[in-house]
Amino acid sequence: MALLSRDFFAQTDTLRVARHLLGKHLHVRELHTGEVCTLRITETEAYCGTTDRACHAFGGRRTARNEVMYGPPGYVYIYLCYGIHHLLNFVTHQQGEPHAILIRAGEPVAGLQTMLTRRSMQRYEPRLAAGPGSLARALGLTVADSGRYGCEPHRIWVTDAPLIDPEAILEGPRVGVEYAEEDARLPWRFRIRQ
DNA sequence: TTGGCGATTGACT
DNA sequence: GTCAATCGCCAAG
């Protein structure tokens, strides 16, 4: 299927992009070996710019860490959470509008053995890439990859797949953002119904 | 320069 | 169900 272009991520309705990313294939190449691991995206969350209290760019906050969110769409923003977990996001909307989509979960499509090794697992279990920290670990991604372009088949990219039927998409509040007050309740988390 | 804390996970009761 | 791990970030001093 076709590579998702910058135009896909440049759409200004980040909630729509977050829904449309469900079912797409996320690929990460190990640059030393050339091996590609692929996950089918099953869960996403939208973070919508300077007015979203749960977003790292709330209130226009702009630091070295989140600078990539202010850049053009289609780039990846990866940051370290709780000192342990690396979390993968794709930057959306236009340059200067710091929106992003957190990739929270996926199912293996290719490169299973390598992902199992990275997760210290003997055989496939759903927890392989369920949760954003686990997903990044399975794919071998760290903050060293933050700022990479995510629309060319080099290190990180996404390919198209048929749209998921809206009836099969569950919406709910975002996870772990209780501090965001009223914005914590916004149904900006999207999952494929099992 | 410092201290509180987080878009989480896994181990344990 | 509870809770510790673990460290870079960043607002405040």
Residues A89 and A185: their CA atoms lie apart, in Å, by 20
Give domain status of residue A111, yes or no: no
CATH of residue A48: 3.10.300.10
The contacts of residue A150 (CB under 8 Å, 6+ apart) are A9, A74, A75, A76, A90, A156, A157, A158
Residues A106 and A136: their CA atoms lie apart, in Å, by 10
Please indicate whether residue A154 or residue A177 has the higher confidence score (pLDDT).
A154
pLDDT confidence of residue A24: 98
Give domain status of residue A15, yes or no: yes
| Angstrom distance, A82 CA to C5 C1' | 9
Give domain status of residue A113, yes or no: no
pLDDT confidence of residue A87: 98
Give domain status of residue A154, yes or no: yes
pLDDT confidence of residue A178: 85
| Angstrom distance, A143 CA to B7 C1' | 15
pLDDT confidence of residue A1: 79
Interface residues for strand B (CB within 7 Å) are A 45, 47, 54-56, 69, 77, 80-85, 87, 89, 100, 102, 119, 127, 130-135, 174-177, 179
pLDDT in tens, A96-139: 999 999 999 999 999 999 999 999 999 999 999 999 999 999 99
Give domain status of residue A167, yes or no: yes
Q: Strand C: which positions are within 7 A of a protein CB?
A: 5-11
Backbone phi, then psi, for A177, in 5-degree steps?
A: -125, 30
Number of domains in chain A: 1
Expressed as residue numbers, the domain containing A176 is: 6-80+89-102+145-192
pLDDT in tens, A169-188: 999 999 998 888 889 999 99
Give domain status of residue A133, yes or no: no
pLDDT in tens, A17-55: 999 999 999 999 999 999 999 999 999 999 999 999 999
pLDDT in tens, A41-96: 999 999 999 999 999 999 999 999 999 999 999 999 999 999 999 999 999 999 99
Give domain status of residue A132, yes or no: no
pLDDT class of A194 with cuts at 50, 70, 90: confident
Give domain status of residue A150, yes or no: yes
pLDDT confidence of residue A192: 97
| Angstrom distance, A16 CA to C2 C1' | 37
| Angstrom distance, A46 CA to B2 C1' | 33
Answer whether any strand C atom is within 7 A of the Cβ of A66. Answer: yes
Q: What are the C-alpha distances in Å from A86 to residues A8, A59, A82, A103, A193?
A: 24, 24, 9, 11, 25
